[in-house]
Amino acid sequence: MTPEAFDAIDVIRAKRDGGAVPEPALRWMVDAYTRGYVSDAQMAAFAMAIYQRGMERSEIQVLTDAMIASGERMSFADLGKRTVDKHSTGGVGDKITLPLAPLVAVFGVAVPQLSGRGLGHTGGTLDKLESIPGWRADLSNDEMFAQMQGDVGAVICAAGTGLAPADKKLYALRDVTGTVEAIPLIASSIMSKKIAEGTDALVLDVKFGNGAFMQDIDRARELARTMVALGTDSGVATTALLTDMNTPLGLAIGNANEVRESVEVLAGGGPADVRALTVALAREMLSLAGQPDADVEAALDDGRALDRWNAMIRAQEGDPAAALPAPNETHDVVAERDGVITRMDALPFGVSAWRLGAGRARAQDPVIHAAGIDLVVKPGDRVTAGQTLFTLSADDESRFGRALEALDGAYEIGDTAPVVGPIVRERITA
């Protein structure tokens, strides 16, 4: 039996004491953990040391590369098109991937959108799309390649288990050891999968605010800069937008209702904030793909984006014309006084939708596709006493109690309209 090249305790101590872990030792640590030689307890200690001490840029690059090397690496070199992807750090009502992928594909750019399912208050893209009767998330690499190479040009599907398996193992450990928030671990987790995916370019939607993973804009900026550097250093053209997630995005929070709202955007309508962010991200993606002057708004307004959506859904065996799931029970929340909506905090609305059944507490839990919240108003809107502010939907009225508890103090009616800033706050480049 060949002896191991390093000792996990030495690697843990090096980081615990504030030093940089040498590249060979860091690569070994990731590989040994993936193989099962390094225990969960040892990797948990190492993750906590990273959380407390941080990592140098060179260390994060090595960590990311080691996680990529733990699995397969896809390539779209033979596709005959530029490929560009988008990743969002997640938020409440964030359905942007749905209208964005077909919109960008209109311009002859391939969009390989490998997505996941939701856990907690942030919804999963695949959960939303699985509201559509017949739609299939699990595609082989050959099916994915064919869909992007052909007339559809875009695919939203589940990521294969072969991409960065070290990250999958480490992510589950971080979730139960209080180390989720460590920027080096977040950045290497996201970017190892995106780089292994093999896309030419990547746009990151890094959210900040009370409904985001990073509530503080400075921390969000640090995360964005770290990920842009990782992508750039790995040969992937990468930029990031810092976007506001203090208020739910759009009017729909859930699964089926977010699909419905996405289709409205693809048809040239929809809420102004969803359209604005979709357009901003599409422009960024197309600029990286060599089309900085593409008229993305025209593609929304003239039906081309909707046609591409219908083709994408049909290609994955879904029926874009089928009725979406409808809730068994609804409950309206009304204004108690005249005034103007001054605040709607994203996080409580996300938690409320989760309690209604739109999300899951454990990976194996099902979601209720018809459950969620439909907003009627947003901050800045004037309301009158008795007017409906939002509607809760569920399969069972017994869910309404805890969902309403989550919303206690989550919104406010005042006398003076708030200042509503732009949804995109900053652009981060290499």
Catalytic sites, residue numbers? 87, 167, 174, 189, 193
Query: Closest Cα to residue 201, out of 292, 94, 311?
Result: 292
Write the burial class of residue 173 (CB in 10 Å: 0-12 exposed, 13-18 middle, 19+ buried). Answer: middle
Number of residues in the chain: 430
- Distance separating the N- and C-terminal Cα atoms of the chain: 45
Please enumerate in sequence order all residues whose Cβ is within 8 A of that of 113, keeping only pairs 6 or more positions apart, or say none.
Answer: 85, 86, 97, 101, 125, 154, 155, 156, 157
Query: Closest Cα to residue 146, out of 110, 116, 193?
Result: 110
Residue 52, CA distances (Å) to 63, 134, 224 in order: 17, 46, 20
Bridge partners of 375, per DSSP, are 390
